[in-house]
Structure 1
Amino acid sequence: MTVTNARSGTNVHEIAHGIYRINTPVHIDGGPGGFSFNQYLIVDDEPLLFHTGLRKMFPLVHEAVASVIAPARLRHIAFSHVEADECGSLNEWLAAAPHASPLCGTVAAMVSVNDLADRPAQGLADGQAVPLGHHTVRWFDTPHLPHAWECGLMMEERTGTLLCGDLFSQGGAELPSLTEADILGPSEAFRRGMDYFSHTPNAGAMLERMALLQPTTLACMHGSAWRGDGAGLLRALAQALAN
């Protein structure tokens, strides 16, 4: 792990080949206490950043990306759904990376991103793949899982990394970059306390679809990334949501 900003604690760690977790720990007054915001950088011929981070966090994330590649090299600014921590600094990134475009689902492009963004979005259909060079990401629509009509997840197929957005969010600011320990228990405690899932009746089917991809790394937006039997963990989450 490399700390890129000593004051904020922002740090970078390679969680899979060519995939870097950028993490900023925070403490939110009146909120859930210690928390963390993660972005994921895929380094390749066409580099991709998944999650932009909050607009006010842009200097920290930019500094972290710059510790790995020149930010101007970015070609894709991707995110799961429209929310401040997902795409709040989208336009700042488009300015910093003049050849990049927003990458999101077709619903997000239609209802929000083509109005909010300074450049047109590439709206991905369900199941559409985007080759980056050695890596390939594939978009999967997950409406209302965990929340937002336009929500979706991305699978990086070479490394078996599921960019799983707000699934398995864990509270706490001082967590390991990558763990093989239990994250379902902490994430379920956090979900029950915050109640941020939409409780869609289609959750089980969508999680089973993700499980069939057999991910071996889960790139969580909040808390540790996780390595292990991703299919088993996704099915355990589906069962927890059904209870």
Structure 2
Amino acid sequence: METTVTEIAPDIYRMSTYIGEANLLFNQFLIDAEEPLLFHCGLRALFPLVSDAVARVTPVEGLRWITFGHVEADECGAMNSWLAAAPRAEVAHTAMGCVVSVNDMADRPPRPLSDGEVLDLGGRRVRRLETPHVPHGWDAGLMYEETTGTLLCGDLFTAMGNAPALTESEIVSPALAAEDVFGASCLTAGTAPAMHRLAGLAPTALGLMHGPSYTGDCSQALHDLADAYEERFTASLRR
């Protein structure tokens, strides 16, 4: 295995590792600013590869913020490895997620974030967006980098297989195919409205955790996936 590094937007870097046994890409995102931020910690076993990749961009010990969408092994498994390697780093996560999980799991106290709270990184501004159960997880949320318009969208648009780092090809069909296999998304009355709200941000890029980063019509992609999920949810009510 190897971890590749791609700049998907100015000062936003994608660290990507393809794991053949799972037939999935596992991606982390580094925002290189005065206070560097890492979105997704990765699995503990991937820490040596991913930390080496981060070090190609900025010293690992200089990381200031460690964040993730929700508590799950591939999102926060290596959390304490990063805390050990970066002495001044803090984990920043939703306040509810801190109370339920991270306060107990993290080796240092985390920084609770409220919905819409912004971390000023110095040159970049990252806003926490709470999306409970979208696509899954009580503590689920995303990070939106306001300066570049990049939405780090976690498990939304998960696609199977390897892929180029950046694409403008449509990403909805691969996401629905993966959903047919995994059934990982919570399809509720609130799923589609939450995604339509995300589309209202008019992001210029989508950083997928399991798939390529997308630089096409991001708002339309979010609307289309929301509509597909709404159709599936409505159909389930008729069964």
TM over 0.5, shorter chain:
yes
Q: TM-score range by the shorter chain?
A: over 0.9
**Structure 2 residue aligned with 1:198, among 186, 192, 214?**
186
- Give the C-alpha shift of residue 182 in structure 1: 1.1
Supply the AA of the counterpart residue of 1:14.
E
**Structure 2 residue aligned with 1:111, among 93, 100, 122?**
100
Task: Supply the distance in 1 between the matched residues of 2:27 and 2:102 (Cα, whole angstroms).
Answer: 21
- Give the C-alpha shift of residue 117 in structure 1: 0.1
- Give the C-alpha shift of residue 113 in structure 1: 0.3
- SS state at 1:92 partner: helix
- Give the C-alpha shift of residue 212 in structure 1: 0.9
- SS state at 1:45 partner: coil
Unaligned runs of 5+ in 2: 232-239
How high is the TM-score relative to the length of structure 1? 0.94
**1:102–1:121: 8 Å Cα contact kept in structure 2?**
yes
Task: Supply the distance in 2 between the matched residues of 1:185 and 1:206 (Cα, whole angstroms).
Answer: 20
Mapped pair 1:226 → 2:219: no
Task: Supply the distance in 1 between the matched residues of 2:67 and 2:85 (Cα, whole angstroms).
Answer: 15
Residue 5 (structure 1) aligns with: none
**2:27–2:42: 8 Å Cα contact kept in structure 1?**
yes
Residue 102 (structure 1) aligns with: 91
Unaligned runs of 5+ in 1: 1-7
Residue 84 (structure 1) aligns with: 73
**1:39–1:50: 8 Å Cα contact kept in structure 2?**
yes
- SS state at 1:186 partner: helix
- Give the C-alpha shift of residue 82 in structure 1: 0.2
Residue 14 (structure 2) aligns with: 21
- Give the C-alpha shift of residue 200 in structure 1: 2.2
How high is the TM-score relative to the length of structure 2? 0.95
**2:169–2:216: 8 Å Cα contact kept in structure 1?**
no
**1:145–1:200: 8 Å Cα contact kept in structure 2?**
no
Supply the AA of the counterpart residue of 2:66.
I
Task: Supply the distance in 2 between the matched residues of 1:156 and 1:128 (Cα, whole angstroms).
Answer: 12
Task: Supply the distance in 2 between the matched residues of 1:151 and 1:242 (Cα, whole angstroms).
Answer: 19
Task: Supply the distance in 2 between the matched residues of 1:123 and 1:181 (Cα, whole angstroms).
Answer: 36
Q: CA RMSD in A?
A: 0.8
**1:10–1:23: 8 Å Cα contact kept in structure 2?**
yes
Q: Percent identity?
A: 48
4+ aligned runs moved over 2 Å, structure 1: none
Residue 166 (structure 2) aligns with: 178
Task: Supply the distance in 2 between the matched residues of 1:38 and 1:56 (Cα, whole angstroms).
Answer: 14
Residue 130 (structure 1) aligns with: 119
